[in-house]
Structure 1
Amino acid sequence: MACWAQLRLLLWKNFTYRRRQTCQLLLEVAWPLFIFLILISVRLSYPPYEQHECHFPNKAMPSAGTLPWVQGIICNANNPCFRYPTPGEAPGVVGNFNESIVSRLFSDAQRLLLYSQRDTSMKDIHKVLRTLQKIENNSSSLTLQDFLVDNETFSGFLNHNLSLPEPAVDRMLGADVSLRKVSCRPRLPWWG
């Protein structure tokens, strides 16, 4: 019971003090009300708008390697904000630039130079060089078969899935390919 008596005595003392100091009482009541009214006026004059969450692409640190670090600087220079999580937000992911030309070039070079199980890289290089010489000498003698790798399944796909007869598939694979028509738009002034 002594606790309730102490609380009643404290409240009576506080009430008596505030009743004697009317100016201070008005200021202590009016000041929070004034700040609250300012808050209400700001809220009514500037209604809130919905802002989606912001996910930024990952940027690798220099210790992750030179290529991911430079790609993070160059590719994310404008610091875009995405609505949904980006692939690089997962823990342990250094770079999400797998679709970039530079990353594919490095991965292809690494696969070609380091992880070749069979030593066919020299034959492949010679095949590419022969094809490039064909292109340089006479671009009209290239066929679709020249662009397909050995043991390709394209002819099997045409044969079985599309039900094309074997002679039609052979004619299609033996068709001449004009790189000028494939790589350029049809009406460029310098191609005539």
Structure 2
Amino acid sequence: MTTQLWIGLGFLAILILFMMKAFFAKDPPNENQAPILRLFIALAAGFAGGFLTGDALFRLDSSMGNGTKLLVSGTAGAALFFTAWFTAKSKLQPPPDGFSFSVASGWTFEQAVAGIARSASELSEITGFTPEQRAAVLESRELTCRTPKEAIEKLRYLNPALPQYSVDYTNGVYSIKA
């Protein structure tokens, strides 16, 4: 094996270790991480194909009518790179929106938080809000989000009187703090 192949093999090993870490991660890749992981998967496939064959698998030489010469060649590495690039896209996309909730007409902030928590079979706790803020009537709207936590976070946009707040989810309880 040449020095160039050893360097490529080392790079491939690093890519595989990175992908193993990503595969065994606690959370799936988000929409910002997925394209990077997709590139690494395609690179690893291309390197592996290149190590298996080492040279071009097909070569096409053709002459066009005006004397222009056309040359197309490809390797297993290039073929595997593009195969992985186009097939990994669908596998790494984040799941579709998974939580939908309707804020009924006349509902208050407190009622909406309790309704979202109840629909997720969880509990809620609101701290740091004034009685007026808890009783703020929200705009009637359908909320479509990935998680109930995200839906609670979006409630602030349904009434301008609501202050900035944070939402934490721990041990089955959504804690909303102003």
Pick the structure with more strand per residue: 2
Q: RCO higher in 1 or 2 (8 Å CA, sep ≥ 6)?
A: 2
**TM-score computed with the length of structure 1 as normaliser:** 0.20
Pick the structure with more helix per residue: 1
Q: Which has the larger radius of gyration?
A: 1
**TM-score computed with the length of structure 2 as normaliser:** 0.21
